[in-house]
Copies of this chain bind each other. A is one copy, B any other.
Amino acid sequence: MTHMDFDALVALLARIFIANGASAGVADILARNCAGAERDGAMSHGLFRMPGYVSTLHSGWVDGRAEPVVEDAGASFLRVDAANGFTQPALAAVAPIAIEKARATGACVVAIRRSHHFAALWPDVEPFAEAGLVAIAMVDSMAVVVPPGARRPVYGTNPLAFAAPREGGRIMVFDQAVSLLAHGDVQIAAREGHVLPEGAGVDAAGQPTRDAQAVLDGGALLPFGGHKGAAIAMMIEIMAAALTGGNYSHEVDWSAHPGAQTPCTGQCLILIDPARGGSGAGFAARVEQLVDALRAAGQERMPGDRRFAARAKAVRDGVPVSAEMLARLEALLTS
């Protein structure tokens, strides 16, 4: 296990993206995102994803050189055509304008379509909370989650992320899939032979299973919390696809692109300026009071705490990367 300097890891990943057809701008954004997930200890969305990115670029399913087009759709509404590229460059293009609109009017909706999201969602909301805004993000993905009473998957793992400023420059952030498990976790469990928890998935015949490979081989995931989790999955389909003009999860069809792994769907982002609410400039202090109340009641860990701790450690000591992973990454430079 070596410990890599974060910037050196970003540079390596950027070289991999460029070597496999991405533009320098797209490569830098994706490399920072992916290295950031690894740094934060979120392995399922970190270096583990690099072969999937490369394979998808090779398949022709995603455009690694896409130039997103930002469309002004109102004082509090922005559309972005990601032009069949990754979501993160589209978000980077629209973010400064979205922040400006949210500050000017109190709110801004960002509707991104024709976008590929293959990463964690919290990096998409954190910068807005750091800028003093409340942010809610929703992405649909690909049909792997079975609705209640249905015989086959319709919903994606459809992550929901939320971020809000806390006192002292800290933020409150969570990012969670509507499936009991994220798809990346099932892939890791299959690779490492771990058994899935109860209620996480069904096999190809629709029967409950704890075998990760059976879920991947024509099986499907189940939503967390039964019909309530499924309702949230439905809301996210509507917000991320119907509202944006992107694909629903069940409409993603990469059959003509063997090797493709990134869902081409849409993403919705809601930004709110909390300074306009009833707590005014005291908003962050109020959020802190909730954290205090949770701690006093016995909840020791807040959402995101584990990531922030891993981040702080990696900034100090470097990002831990195994020799095996490093060899795998270097192989992607010439793939």
Residues of chain A at the chain B interface (Cβ within 8 Å):
73-77, 79, 81, 104-109, 111, 113, 134, 136, 146-154, 162, 164, 172, 174, 176, 180, 224-226, 228-229, 231-232, 234-235, 237-239, 241-246, 248, 250, 266, 270, 272-274, 276-280, 283, 286-287, 289-290, 293-294, 297-301, 303
Contacts and interface: CB of A to CB of B under 8 A. Distances in A.
A97 to B, nearest CB: 13
A79 B277 contact: yes
Nearest to A160: B232
Contact of A73 (B79, B151, B153, B276): B276
A276 B147 CA distance: 29
Nearest to A206: B298
A79 B278 CA distance: 7
A167 to B, nearest CB: 12
Contact of A242 (B154, B235, B243, B286): B286
Contacts of A73: 106, 276-277
Contact of A75 (B75, B79, B234, B279): B75
Contact of A225 (B153, B228, B270, B289): B228
Nearest to A237: B290
A106 B74 contact: yes
25 contacts: A74-B105, A75-B104, A77-B106, A79-B278, A105-B105, A111-B278, A147-B297, A149-B299, A149-B300, A172-B238, A174-B231, A224-B225, A224-B226, A225-B226, A225-B228, A225-B229, A234-B294, A241-B286, A242-B287, A242-B290, A244-B277, A245-B278, A250-B293, A266-B278, A270-B272
Contacts of A242: 164, 274, 277, 279, 283, 286-287, 290
| Those 6 A-B pairs whose CB atoms lie nearest each other, nearest first | A245-B278, A225-B225, A77-B106, A74-B106, A242-B286, A75-B105
Contacts of A283: 242-243
Contacts of A235: 136, 162, 174
A77 B104 CA distance: 10
A246 B283 CA distance: 11
Given A225-B228, A228-B229, 4 more contacts: A73-B106, A77-B272, A152-B297, A225-B225
A150 B299 contact: yes
B245 A279 contact: yes
